[in-house]
Structure 1
Amino acid sequence: MPGPWGAVLYDTVTTHVRTSPRRPPFRHRGYLWLVDLDHLPALPRPLRPLARFRPRDHELSRSNGELTIRQELARYLDGHGIRLGDGQVLMLTQARSLGYVFNPLTVYWCRDASGRPLCTVAEVHNTYGGRHRYLLPPDPEGRGETAKDFPVSPFFPVDGRYRMVLPEPGERLRLTVHLERGGHPAFTATVLGTARPAGPAALLRAALTHPFATWAVSLHIRYRGIRLWLDGLPVHPRPGARPSRSVPKPAPPTTEVPTP
């Protein structure tokens, strides 16, 4: 149900449930874009400050914005033996708004030129400025499993496994990421959403309902991190930077993001 900009907006509720050790759930409301990387929304000039899709907000390979988001993702897939070719890529993400963006999780659904699913890519950003991608094989229900090998929350070490359920969204959005440690559930993040065709009225409504949405994500993350720290949760030292997988940009280790 793409709108006049060829994209979809989702009103979302993100929920964290920490089970080891157990803490009260955390919820955050906002909105996300679902866009085709070959047809990014062309907003009228007055609305452009509310939504920009910049390559530098997603790249891992330090192309300095010389590659488009699609080109940089295709290069990443090539490195894993997957040829995107002329296939379609749908991206679920927050757009840069009012000069800022922080995307705890961006998801790419990739298909080949015939429409056959190729893979799903889960792109995780942390508040240290690092970025990492998890490559998941195609699955009819969007299920995938992978080892955790990238630091996100300072309240968890870099160990365990993710069980992700990331089906391609339609009228409804429903994403789930489970973190398991030692064979036991430790953390679950869910993102639920309802679709609206993306156009001027829908964007203005979303921006008024969730003003400064991209800034609010970072503020809520930091607030949650401080609460957990004051609650006595131990902070794990941040592992050394991994130049091949992250783009360093220092930030205080006092946060927890909506994906574990």
Structure 2
Amino acid sequence: MTCALYPCTVTHVRRTPVRHVFRHRTYLWLIDPDRPPRLPAPLRPLARFDPRDHFAGTAPTIRAGLEAFLAARGVDLAGGRVVMLTQARVLGHVFNPLTLYWCHGPEDVLRCVVAEVHNTYGERHCYLLITDPDGRARIRKELYVSPFYPVAGGYRMRLPEPGPRLNVRVTLDPPQGAPFTATVRGARREFTPMALVRQALSHPLSTFAVSFAIRLHGSYLYLRGLPVQPRPRHPAQEGAR
């Protein structure tokens, strides 16, 4: 698989009790975690794919962490292809609200999708999803993400494998109130060193910008009077390495 870049727009839509729309432009990588891109030495600070940033952060490779997570849930890819959508470390920093793994068997048929969610408190949780032919799945919420929503309700996700276009949608259905929706939409650009330079110049310090924007909009909502929900302790996941 040729790795690719996706310049994209991330949109969050909150409807109640305060209507608020948040849009942020960034770029994501689509890679084979077994064969991450090899960058010229001067560009390596702009993109690093580190196994410490995924799953429990203790596996020797990203693929090994994924395999351990799947094995604990009875899934064996038997060497099949994995496609990973993520942000890379930039200048030593990364914040990945959502990393997606499309996991195929040896016959190259999609077996499952893993959605790895990180919150701003340093916690991680992975969801194993069996999607329908349109890439849709439902799952119970298990990680505290926004301080304004409890760990309750469930997600509706639409996660078609990216092609010329990236179009991911995650909808939180809370126990009360209107759904909260996040979308990621973009267009594929084949990776070249110059393509990476253009994205880095268009979106400087992209991973810092993502975490700063989330905190900035959270502060705005807090000042608007949204009540903060208590954050429970998040236990380690079985099989996470």
Scaled to the shorter chain, the TM-score interval is: over 0.9
For the 8 Å contact 2:18–2:226, the answer to whether it is kept is no
3-state SS in 1 of match to 2:67: helix
Q: CA deviation at 1:183?
A: 7.3
Quote the Cα distance in structure 2 between the aligned partners of 1:244 and 1:166.
23
For the 8 Å contact 1:147–1:162, the answer to whether it is kept is yes
From 126, 132, 136, the equivalent of 1:139 is: 132
Letter in 1 for 2:137: G
1:108-119 map, 5 Å: 108-119=101-112
Q: Does 1:8 align with 2:1?
A: no
Q: CA deviation at 1:116?
A: 1.0
For the 8 Å contact 2:116–2:125, the answer to whether it is kept is yes
Structure-2 residue corresponding to 1:21? 17
From 63, 75, 82, the equivalent of 1:82 is: 75
Q: Does 1:215 align with 2:208?
A: yes
For the 8 Å contact 2:103–2:113, the answer to whether it is kept is yes
Structure-2 residue corresponding to 1:47? 43
Deviation per CA, 1:11-54: give whole Å up to 9, x if none: 01000000222422100000000001121101111100000000
For the 8 Å contact 1:178–1:185, the answer to whether it is kept is no
For the 8 Å contact 1:16–1:25, the answer to whether it is kept is yes
Quote the Cα distance in structure 2 between the aligned partners of 1:89 and 1:216.
28
3-state SS in 1 of match to 2:179: strand
Quote the Cα distance in structure 1 between the aligned partners of 2:109 and 2:179.
34
Structure-2 residue corresponding to 1:258? none
For the 8 Å contact 2:143–2:234, the answer to whether it is kept is no
For the 8 Å contact 2:89–2:207, the answer to whether it is kept is yes
Letter in 1 for 2:181: T
Letter in 1 for 2:13: V
For the 8 Å contact 1:142–1:165, the answer to whether it is kept is yes
Structure-2 residue corresponding to 1:225? 218
Which consecutive residues of structure 1, in runs of 5 or more, have no partner in the other structure?
248-260
1:79-228 map, 5 Å: 79-182=72-175, 185-228=178-221
- CA separation of 1:30 and 1:175: change in aligned 2, threshold 3 A: same
Compute the RMSD of aligned alpha carbons: 1.6
Q: CA deviation at 1:57?
A: 0.6
Deviation per CA, 1:191-216: give whole Å up to 9, x if none: 00111001111000000000010100
Quote the Cα distance in structure 2 between the aligned partners of 1:146 and 1:183.
17
Quote the Cα distance in structure 2 between the aligned partners of 1:24 and 1:104.
19
3-state SS in 1 of match to 2:73: coil
Quote the Cα distance in structure 1 between the aligned partners of 2:233 and 2:79.
37
3-state SS in 1 of match to 2:12: strand
Q: CA deviation at 1:184?
A: 5.7
3-state SS in 1 of match to 2:188: strand
From 24, 34, 40, the equivalent of 1:38 is: 34
